[in-house]
Amino acid sequence: MSPFGSGAGRRARSGPPPWVVRAATTLAAWLVAWVVVVALLSLMGDELGSLPLALRALVISGVLVTLMANLVMPVLGRIVARWTAADAGLNRR
């Protein structure tokens, strides 16, 4: 018997495998982070260039983490959930 219970009452998993969901989420987050960093450097490159390296890294990482945690990841989570639910619906037919 499993230490996590017998598994009775659990639905059969449908939809993409968990590793596909994690990989898609990771790649999408990485792409958005790259876009944010490029946008910051494009818009504020001269101002950031005049700052010491540690302060420049602090500003970029602070903006990046704030945007990712409060804006990007909640939206991305809903998109991935919708995608996996839609994929699960297609697999039931």
Euclidean distance between CA atoms 21 and 9, whole angstroms: 24
As a whole number, the mean pLDDT across the chain is 83
pLDDT at 71 over 70: yes
**3-state class of 52 per DSSP?**
coil
pLDDT at 3 over 80: no
Number of domains in the chain: 1
Euclidean distance between CA atoms 89 and 81, whole angstroms: 12
Tell me, yes or no, whether 13 lies in a domain.
Answer: no
Domain with 87 in it = 18-91
In this prediction, residue 80 carries a pLDDT of: 85
Segment 43-52, tens digit of pLDDT: 998 888 899 9
Segment 15-37, tens digit of pLDDT: 788 898 889 889 999 999 999 99
Tell me, yes or no, whether 31 lies in a domain.
Answer: yes
pLDDT at 63 over 80: yes
